[in-house]
């Protein structure tokens, strides 16, 4: 059982380049999330999709866009990467009811130079 799978695991971008982080879950979960993790700041929610066809901004959405392609997949796009977007990105999913456990992928390390 793969759980939450993210690609790529590592990526180096030049300032201004664009890229898409892919995420897929095989647990038939309704809700999916993108978080970023920065030293000393914990994890902060970028975007959230409560169910297929819906997306909402989280705490730090600027510079990002998302697509909930179907129930399984939730992608995160950086249109014009900036050094401030150097971070570790985690995709996550949950059944969607309040209090449900949220399951995380293994992370994508992104460096913008």
Partner 1 sequence: AQSVSQHNHHVILSEAASLELGCNYSYGGTVNLFWYVQYPGQHLQLLLKYFSGDPLVKGIKGFEAEFIKSKFSFNLRKPSVQWSDTAEYFCAVTITGGGNKLTFGTGTQLKVEL
Strand arrangement of the beta sheet that strand 4-7 belongs to: 4-7, 19-25, 74-78, 64-68
Binding mask 59-88 for partner 1 (x = CB under 8 A): x-----------------------------
* 105 touching partner 1, by CB under 8 A: yes
Contact residue for partner 1 among 50, 65, 67, 73 (CB under 8 A): 50
Q: What's the distance, Cα to Cα, between the start and end of the chain in Å?
A: 35
Of 34, 48, 74, 89, which lies in the binding site for partner 1, with binding defined by CB under 8 A? 48
- Write out the residues near partner 1 by the rule CB under 8 A: 31, 33, 35, 40-45, 48, 50, 56, 58-59, 90, 94, 96-107
């Amino acid at each position: 059982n793969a759980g939450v799978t993210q690609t790529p695991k590592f990526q180096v971008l030049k300032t201004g380049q664009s890229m898409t982080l892919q995420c897929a879950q095989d647990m038939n979960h309704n809700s999916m999330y993108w978080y970023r993790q920065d030293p000393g700041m914990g994890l902060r929610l970028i975007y959230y999709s409560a169910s297929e066809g819906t997306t909402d901004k989280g705490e730090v959405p600027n510079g990002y866009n998302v697509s909930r392609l179907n129930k399984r997949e939730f992608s995160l796009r950086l249109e014009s990467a900036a050094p401030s977007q150097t971070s570790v990105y985690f995709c996550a999913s949950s059944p969607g009811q309040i209090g449900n456990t949220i399951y995380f992928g293994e992370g994508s390390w992104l460096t913008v130079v």
